[in-house]
Amino acid sequence: MSGNVPTFNLKAVVRETALKPDTIRAWERRYGVPKPRRTPGGHRLYSQRDIDLLKWMNARQHEGLSISRIVDLWKSLEAEGKDPLQVTSHTLMRQTVQLGDVGELANLRHDWVQACLNFDEPRAEQTVSQAFALFPLNSVVLDVLLRGMAELGDDWYRGEVAAQQEHFASALAVRRLQTLIAASPSPTRAERIVLACPPGEQHTLSLLVVNLFLRRQGWEVIDLGANVPLDRLEPMILNLRPQLLIASAQHLLTAQTLQALAAALARLKIPVGFGGSIFNRLPALRHHIAGHFLGEGLSELTGAVQEILHAPWPLPEVIETSHEYVSALEHYREHLPVIEAEVLGLLEPKTREMVLQAGANAYLAQYLRAALALGDVNLLDSDLSWIRGLLSTHQLPDEALQGYLQMYLAAAQKHLDRRGAVIVEWFQQALEEIDEMAAA
């Protein structure tokens, strides 16, 4: 195979890999990789695969692995009959964790979560420091901090964790990530990448991880933070002129504002990469955003970014919001005050108090408007169950929620004309599904 033919001298390899000669020789001497041939005069000759191997090792080192673990990873993949150069980033990350101790990572995550629940900052910080001493940076960030925060978020949703406990843990995770970002090396790549949360999105943790991972790969990163208003975005972007903007949304509401953000940037010829938990829960939603989906996990982030920067255009095909949905949204907005007033007037006093206390009116209206703006009211199906679970933590029982939706349907049928047909049909289907679930 031509890729294994020894052709390149050390000077050419240094130029191709950006590694120092001493580094290449040290890796060869200590770990036996690469294995260059020798000319009759004793000079090293490297193959293209040797160069690819060195690039691969360098990339893993930037991800936080030690050279010894990198070599072990390469050998373990080869022992399984795999070509390490063809293995996906996700598989590499999984294999890396397996080389370490998955159970130990889980134990460290558990200890960190428990320390946060007890507001024990010294123990939480000590646990994270121990994790970084034992495992690669990416593994600790993804499997301890992010997964730990996800577990706390799930427990908060079920009413098992107080908001203050979740906020305490978030503050510690954010501070640690900001410290790592501040210690990142200066950019070595020409491209500039801007990060932003769309209007209404306050969750910045995942974008901090994106910031860290991209900086460690040499990109210049500018983070605009949470809740970036659209009316100020255009002049800012025209001034910064990034090669890519990355945005994140966690809920249907902010997926809709991300849709507007991506459309605005497409008009400015700035490509958008996007992700977030809502796009994992609702894969169909990805096709409503004028940008490149970055994947379900951050372990493959840098590879996805590299691909986008290499070929940012054309954008993937986007499902445009139809005239029917635009008309339904305008019609619903116009009649929303009278619909909500009538619903509250029809409810029993006790149920009305629970609905008001739980904020059900605001939740439903916001999510319904978002689904209409995105062009698919069925996107609500998943989020209705999420809202239902959330409201249950506010002591709104299923029967009260069902009664509330029935009243809402009656008010919608009364005040909306044929332009609101898609809304009425969705309420009818949702109530049928709730009846089926209750009967099961």
pLDDT for 2 equals: 55
Q: Please write the tens of the pLDDT for every residue from 310-349.
A: 999 999 999 999 999 999 999 999 999 999 999 988 888 8
Distance between CA atoms of 86 and 107, rounded to whole angstroms?
Answer: 32
Q: Please write the tens of the pLDDT for every residue from 118-165.
A: 999 999 999 999 888 878 899 899 989 999 999 998 888 777 899 999
| Residue 400 pLDDT greater than 90, yes or no | no
Contact 393, 158 (CB under 8 A): yes
| Beta strands 44-45; 37-38: pairing state | antiparallel
- Which residue type is seen at 254? T
Q: 41 or 94: which carries more pLDDT confidence? A: 41
By residue count, the chain amounts to: 440
Distance between CA atoms of 98 and 102, rounded to whole angstroms?
Answer: 6
Cα-based torsion angle of the residue sequence 199, 337, 408, 285 in order, rounded to the nearest 10 degrees: -20
pLDDT for 153 equals: 87
Q: Which of 244-248, 261-265, 340-344, 402-406 has the lowest mean pLDDT?
A: 402-406
Distance between CA atoms of 109 and 115, rounded to whole angstroms?
Answer: 10
DSSP structure class, residue 146: I
Contact 33, 62 (CB under 8 A): no
The whole-chain average pLDDT of the chain stands at: 87
Give the DSSP H or E segment for 293.
Answer: strand 292-293
Q: Please write the tens of the pLDDT for every residue from 211-252.
A: 999 999 999 999 999 999 998 888 999 999 999 999 999 999
Contact 214, 193 (CB under 8 A): yes
Distance between CA atoms of 48 and 2, rounded to whole angstroms?
Answer: 8
| CB burial readout 81-114, b (16+ within 10 A) else e | eeebeebebeebbebbbebbeeeebeebbebbbe
DSSP structure class, residue 8: B
Q: What is the CA radius of gyration of the chain?
A: 26
Task: Give SS3 for 192.
Answer: strand
Calculate the alpha carbon distances from 120 to 112, 116, 126, 261 in Å.
9, 6, 10, 40
pLDDT for 197 equals: 96
Task: Give SS3 for 321.
Answer: coil
- Which residue type is seen at 118? N
Calculate the alpha carbon distances from 99 to 32, 75, 110, 299 in Å.
19, 11, 20, 16
| Residue 174 pLDDT greater than 70, yes or no | yes
Tell which residue, 225, 219, 280, 216, has the closest CA to residue 247: 225
Q: Kindly state the tokens that stand for 385.
A: 């169950």
DSSP structure class, residue 144: I
Contact 112, 148 (CB under 8 A): yes
Calculate the alpha carbon distances from 435 to 65, 242, 403 in Å.
53, 51, 11
How close are the terminal C-alpha atoms of the chain, in Å? Answer: 62
- Identity of the highest mean pLDDT range in 190-194, 379-383, 406-410: 190-194
| Beta strands 220-223; 292-293: pairing state | unpaired
- Which residue type is seen at 393? T
Phi, psi of 317 (to 5 degrees): -60, 135
Percent of the chain with pLDDT over 90: 55
Distance between CA atoms of 232 and 370, rounded to whole angstroms?
Answer: 21
Task: Give SS3 for 316.
Answer: coil
The DSSP bridge partners found for residue 272 are: 245
